[in-house]
Amino acid sequence: MAASAPVSTPALKGPLSSPVFVLNSLDDSVSVIDPVTWTETKRIATGKQPHHLYLTPDEKSIIVANALSDSLTFIDPKTAEVQRTVLGILDPYQLRFSPDMKWFVTAANRLNHIDIYRWDGKDIQLAKRIPTGRTPSHLWIDTKSSTIYSTMQDSDELIAIDLASQAVKWRVKTGSVPADVFGLADDKTMLVALTGSDGVEVYDVSGKLPVLTKIIPTGLGAHAFRAFGDKRHVLVSNRSGDSISKIDLQTLAVVDKFPAPGGPDCMDVSRDGKQILVSSRWIKKLTVIDIATRKVVKQVNVGKSPHGVWTLDHAPR
């Protein structure tokens, strides 16, 4: 896909003071973006194919998961300095801490398993490796830290893992190429983005087995979720549709849409709720969208196949 024309705007001035981090999956690096000048200030070498990142419970480190290097890179979220590298973490594609901060979970996209690690506040220790369906993709853990949910990208499934027994509770067939999964605050409803289709599936998971209750049309290649920060809405990126849909979590319907050129993937929202930061996967850009005007106001050059994007100065998740 040809790169879109650059957007010419003055430097944005906003609520961000901490750097913005963009993972360049095919450049094995992290771009560090100054949110005042909107320029890349440095590029941090990581292991091979960093895809996702997550903040540690003490908020002192962001963990970059390097899938093909079987490693984790810890970076200071304020100074963008590398703190340490942890080796021997097999194929960490996606990662998440449980809300009670006792467990650290990774999805091995390439090796078809989910790993559950104990977390003592500094180090991780493998507790259980769980075989899954083909290509575990994204993870969600409920508010009670009792259940892990994961999509299976190539076997078109959603599975649930009981954290107490560390065993699979159930699995259900989904639509085509399920990617991100997002749970509502009541722990009764799960949303699954279908990258091989054009919408989001809604599951009632309050019973012994999940029930598909609705499909929300969003756009082609529905892929990644990001809570909007108001406890009422969630965003979903439509990677093939070059757009981002805003879903009302009470009505479970799309209530707004934003342009997002170049294959939008992961997103973050500024702490004042005025800007969406999204990785434009196909055009090597970080794209900044003004929510009020629904317009792209800035694009920043980054590395190849930008994926995860994050800043410490984000709206509530």
Judge whether 272 and 237 are in contact, CB under 8 Å.
no
Question: What are the pLDDT digits (tens) for 235-291?
Answer: 999 999 999 999 999 999 999 999 999 999 999 999 999 999 999 999 999 999 999
What's the confidence (pLDDT) of residue 236?
A: 98
Average the pLDDT over 41-55 and give the result.
Answer: 97
Q: What is the token pair recorded at 243?
A: 């757009």
Q: Which of 203, 196, 275 is nearest to 235 (CA)?
A: 275
Q: How far apart are CA 107 and CA 206, in angstroms?
A: 24
Question: What are the pLDDT digits (tens) for 169-219?
Answer: 999 999 999 999 999 999 999 999 999 999 999 999 999 999 999 999 999
| pTM summary value | 0.93
Average the pLDDT over 76-83 and give the result.
Answer: 97
Judge whether 288 and 299 are in contact, CB under 8 Å.
yes
Q: Residue 54: pLDDT above 90?
A: yes
Q: How far apart are CA 107 and CA 132, in angstroms?
A: 10
Q: How far apart are CA 111 and CA 61, in angstroms?
A: 26
Lookup result for tokens 């949910």:
149
What's the confidence (pLDDT) of residue 99?
A: 96
Q: How far apart are CA 50 and CA 23, in angstroms?
A: 6
Q: Residue 7: pLDDT above 80?
A: no
Q: Residue 9: pLDDT above 70?
A: no
Phi and psi dihedrals of 175, rounded to 5?
A: -75, -165
Q: Which of 152, 197, 195 is nearest to 170 (CA)?
A: 152
Average the pLDDT over 217-239 and give the result.
Answer: 97
Q: Alpha-carbon torsion 153, 155, 161, 166, what sign?
A: negative
Q: Residue 1: pLDDT above 80?
A: no
pLDDT tier at 16, thresholds 50, 70, 90: confident
Question: What are the pLDDT digits (tens) for 102-154?
Answer: 999 999 999 999 999 999 999 999 999 999 999 999 999 999 999 999 999 99
Phi and psi dihedrals of 67, rounded to 5?
A: -60, -50
Q: Residue 81: pLDDT above 50?
A: yes
Q: How far apart are CA 85 and CA 106, in angstroms?
A: 16
Q: Residue 15: pLDDT above 90?
A: no
Low-confidence winner among 3-7, 62-66, 86-90 (lowest mean pLDDT): 3-7
